[in-house]
């Protein structure tokens, strides 16, 4: 076996997907299974489908292309660029949009390919990432009016995103703005929109608190399926796993060294000025992986008596002084990963994947 590798427990992903899907369906919400953390893993996408997911969402068209033969609808989560309109229509059934020029380009390509591409118009309710600002009602209505004149595209609903940029917590008030805007659109244009896409995994807090506005019937869920976690409340969803992903790394050095570097301190390789606590001599180990391929801030050793001291690009430095195990060169350490570390490992070409 070549190290480092990330071990993915497919059964746990399938289980989490089923638990989350069941919760959502009980509240009239259809979950989109967000796969973007996996760098286009067909195995992970299939596990979500097996757990009840019928729409896959990803931020990369290259990943959706990998999923083209999977039995699920495909959604592009990141706003599409005009330059990729043709590829979008080829490999995505639905996309999140805010710019009419882009939607016009999608329309042209859809007509050429004889397809109808579904549009979710994004509304910014305060997080200040993508979407037309919710107070700009004239712009919203003008955009809807224009979309309805275009061939090859269908306006199926409106949506929003929260917490990813501005860290704004989903609430009955801000997500509820979508319900009001949907009603205004339907009344003005005498149409019926199919969905309100009410955010990402953080929006599950509205279900937790029984504050989900009536009419919100879609959520785009990644972290809640991958880690069984509702980020805003930092609570685990009952009966889910948070350890479906494990990083396995090999020890390449074990030495007794001081806990404090010796000499004048400058910036490290990442332009940070590190600080250290004097703990005397310690037994230190190095694993052959670093910030290029993982994120030490978002991972924990499975040996609770090991502490991550830091890392450079390719070396992970650990304090193994208090471990009950007498580690040797060539031993393998296991780490449980949070979302950011999973993302880094799964997108690194230098970290192998093993599915169990």
Tokens 């889910």 locate to: 240
Catalytic residues, by residue number, are 36
Quote the CA–CA distance of 175 and 218 in Å, as a whole number.
Answer: 12
Rounded mean pLDDT, 40-61:
98
Contacts of 1 (CB under 8 A, 6+ apart): none
Distance, CA of 36 to chain centre: 6
> CATH number of the domain at 10-236, please?
3.20.20.10
Note the pLDDT tens digit of each residue in 109-166.
999 999 999 999 999 999 999 999 999 999 999 999 999 999 999 999 999 999 999 8
Q: H or E segment at 332? A: strand 332-337
Residue 195, CA atoms < 13 Å, CB-side half-sphere: 25
DSSP 8-class letter at 288? S
Question: Is residue 270 over pLDDT 70?
Answer: no
Tokens 């959604």 locate to: 75
DSSP 8-class letter at 308? E
Question: Is residue 313 over pLDDT 80?
Answer: yes
In this structure, how many other beta carbons lie within 10 angstroms of the beta carbon of residue 304?
10
* Domain assignments of the chain as residue spans, ordered by start: 10-236, 245-355
- What does the pLDDT read at residue 277? 74
Note the pLDDT tens digit of each residue in 246-262.
999 999 999 999 877 77
Percent of the chain whose pLDDT exceeds 90: 91
Model confidence at 188, pLDDT cuts 50, 70, 90, reads very high
Least confidently predicted of 73-87, 182-196, 263-277: 263-277
Note the pLDDT tens digit of each residue in 277-299.
768 799 999 999 999 999 999 99
Question: Domain 245-355: which topology?
Answer: Elongation Factor Tu (Ef-tu); domain 3 (2.40.30)
Note the pLDDT tens digit of each residue in 315-344.
999 999 999 999 999 999 999 999 999 999
Question: Is residue 18 over pLDDT 80?
Answer: yes
- What does the pLDDT read at residue 259? 72
Average pLDDT, the chain: 95
- What does the pLDDT read at residue 273? 65
229 has which bridge partners? 236
- What does the pLDDT read at residue 274? 65
Q: Is this structure's pTM higher than 0.75?
A: yes
Of the candidates 221, 179, 207, the one whose C-alpha atom is nearest the C-alpha of residue 17 is 221
Question: Is residue 10 over pLDDT 90?
Answer: yes
Cβ distance 171 to 195 under 8 Å? no
- What does the pLDDT read at residue 263? 72
- What does the pLDDT read at residue 266? 65
Model confidence at 227, pLDDT cuts 50, 70, 90, reads very high
Question: Is residue 200 over pLDDT 80?
Answer: yes
Model confidence at 269, pLDDT cuts 50, 70, 90, reads low
């Amino acid at each position: 076996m070549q190290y480092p590798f990330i071990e993915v427990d497919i059964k746990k992903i399938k289980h989490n997907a089923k638990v989350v899907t069941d919760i959502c369906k009980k509240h009239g919400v259809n979950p989109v299974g967000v796969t973007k953390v996996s760098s286009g893993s067909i195995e992970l996408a299939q596990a979500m489908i097996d757990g009840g997911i019928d729409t896959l969402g990803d931020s990369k068209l290259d990943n959706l292309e990998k999923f083209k033969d999977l039995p699920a609808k495909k959604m592009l989560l990141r706003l599409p660029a005009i330059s990729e309109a043709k590829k979008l229509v080829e490999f995505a059934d639905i996309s999140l949009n805010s710019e009419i020029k882009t939607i016009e380009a999608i329309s042209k390509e859809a007509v050429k390919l004889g397809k109808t591409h579904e549009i979710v118009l994004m509304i910014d309710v305060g997080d200040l990432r993508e979407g037309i600002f919710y107070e700009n009602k004239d712009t919203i209505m003008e955009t809807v009016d224009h979309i309805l004149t275009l061939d090859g595209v269908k306006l199926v609903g409106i949506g929003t995103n929260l917490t990813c940029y501005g860290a704004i917590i989903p609430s009955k008030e801000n997500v509820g703005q979508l319900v009001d805007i949907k009603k205004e659109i339907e009344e003005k244009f005498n149409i019926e929109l199919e969905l309100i896409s009410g955010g990402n995994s953080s929006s599950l807090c509205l279900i937790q608190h029984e504050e989900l506005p009536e009419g919100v019937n879609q959520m785009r869920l990644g972290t809640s399926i991958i880690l069984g976690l509702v980020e805003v409340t930092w609570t685990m969803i009952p009966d889910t796993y948070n350890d479906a992903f494990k990083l396995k790394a090999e020890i390449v050095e074990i030495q007794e060294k001081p806990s404090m570097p010796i000499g004048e301190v400058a910036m490290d390789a990442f332009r940070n000025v590190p600080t250290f606590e004097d703990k005397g001599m310690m037994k230190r180990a190095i694993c052959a992986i670093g910030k290029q391929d993982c994120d030490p801030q978002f991972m924990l050793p499975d040996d609770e008596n090991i502490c991550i001291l830091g890392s450079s690009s390719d070396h992970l430095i650990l304090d193994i002084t208090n471990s009950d195990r007498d580690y040797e060169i060539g031993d393998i350490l296991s780490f449980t990963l949070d979302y950011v570390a999973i993302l880094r490992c799964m997108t690194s070409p230098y970290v192998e994947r093993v599915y169990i």
